Amino acid sequence: MLSTISSFETRNKRQILSSDIDYYNKYVCTSSADGIIHIFESDKPDMYSAIQLQEHVGPVWQVMFSHPKFGFLASCGSDCKLIVRKTNDDGEWKIVYQYDGHKSSTTSIDWAPYKSGAIIACSSADGTISIHTLNNNEWSVSKIPNAHINGVNCINWSNQLLNNHLLLVSGGNDNKIKIWEGQLGIWNAMYESDNQLATIKDISWNPTPGLYKHIFASCASNGRVFVWGSDDCCDWVQIEIDPENKQKQKVSFSRFGTVLSVTMNSYAVKLWKQIDKQTWMCMERNITNRKTLDCQDKSVNQDIFAAIA
């Protein structure tokens, strides 16, 4: 049974849009529509000890810690920027890299598997995806132009390599899901889904192989969630989760890939476990961590498994 072990007030003046916890559970980071990022130490989570970062102008859509091997904190926002920070000897979070080459809001970020190096992907409402790589203390950027017509909403790396190439899945306003295979700055679309009839809002790649070698989940604006499975990343099987309920808005696999969480518009979370290749069972452990609110026209980018293995 999951339960709340700690709660605290923040100084955010507007809606919290994203949160993340670092690998060692030392820091809790939040971003909000007021453009402010707060970093709390988990052993003293009060709003007076929080570090405030205000490098973005406008809503900050997502924050994400890298693997501790690199120690970065990245963020993206409506000001079209990707910002990467790292702590100095005084414990201050300082910008070590900033990219403003997108022409519209940067919508989502994701760090690649750490064994591949310090690599972060950034999607944008301008329809492109940028991939940023750190080599010899220098950042380089490659771009996937025209990734999705009318904007890219979500991206996620696979932990599995294909022919020693990285795999990135993306979803966009063209109602499509695409899988990109890349190495050395060259990215090719190796799979493109049929029209999913609605904007793709969220995607989560299972971090470990299961009954299929490759598994990811997608959530669309019409509230439909599909789990996709393939052994070769070319031929995919789709299974819809809870088709009667159209109030879903976010998906997330647990750290070991054994459980899929589906966040509902009511802020409740349902947990699902795969029984066989065609069947997913609801674990009947609904989580509600706040009062039911009217979520219409709100974009929530919080991962229920940010600190759950």
Give tens-digit pLDDT for 26-38.
899 999 999 999 9
Nearest to 78 by CA among 97, 54, 100, 58: 58
Q: Are 111 and 132 in contact (CB under 8 A)?
A: no
pLDDT digits (tens, 9 = 90+) for 27-85: 999 999 999 999 988 776 565 568 899 999 999 999 999 999 999 999 999 999 999 99
Q: Tell me how far CA of residue 139 lies from CA of 35, 62, 98, 149, in angstroms.
A: 25, 21, 10, 27
CA–CA separation, 32 vs 129, rounded Å? 23
Tell me: pLDDT of 290 over 60.
no
3-state secondary structure of 236: coil
Task: Look at residue 274 in the predicted model and tell me its pLDDT.
Answer: 87
Sheet holding 51-53, edge to edge: 51-53, 37-41, 27-32, 16-21, 301-302
Q: Tell me the H-state helices in 63-168.
A: none
Q: Is 142 helix (H, G, I), strand (E, B) or coil?
A: strand
180: helix, coil or strand? strand
Tokens at 88, concatenated: 């100095």
Predicted TM-score of the model (pTM): 0.87
Specify whether the CB–CB gap between 259 and 269 falls below 8 A: no
Whole-number percent of the chain with pLDDT over 90: 62
Residues 6+ apart with CB under 8 A from 7: none
- pLDDT of 90 > 90? The answer is no
Joined together, the tokens standing for residue 188 give: 């090719």
Question: Domains in the chain, please, with CATH?
Answer: 13-152 (2.130.10.10)
Element of type H or E holding 41: strand 37-41
Dig out the tokens for 296 from the structure.
Answer: 């219409």
Look at residue 302 and tell me whether its pLDDT is greater than 90. no
The number of beta carbons lying within 10 Å of the beta carbon of residue 146 is 10
74: amino acid identity, one letter: A
The predicted structure's pLDDT at residue 46: 62
Q: Is the predicted pLDDT of residue 306 greater than 80, yes or no? A: no
Name which of 5-14, 133-142, 175-184, 288-297 the model is least confident about. Answer: 288-297
Tokens at residue 38, please?
């707060």
pLDDT band at 301 (very low <50, low <70, confident <90, very high): very low
| pLDDT confidence of residue 287 | 54
Q: Which residues contact 3 (CB under 8 A, 6 or more apart)?
A: none
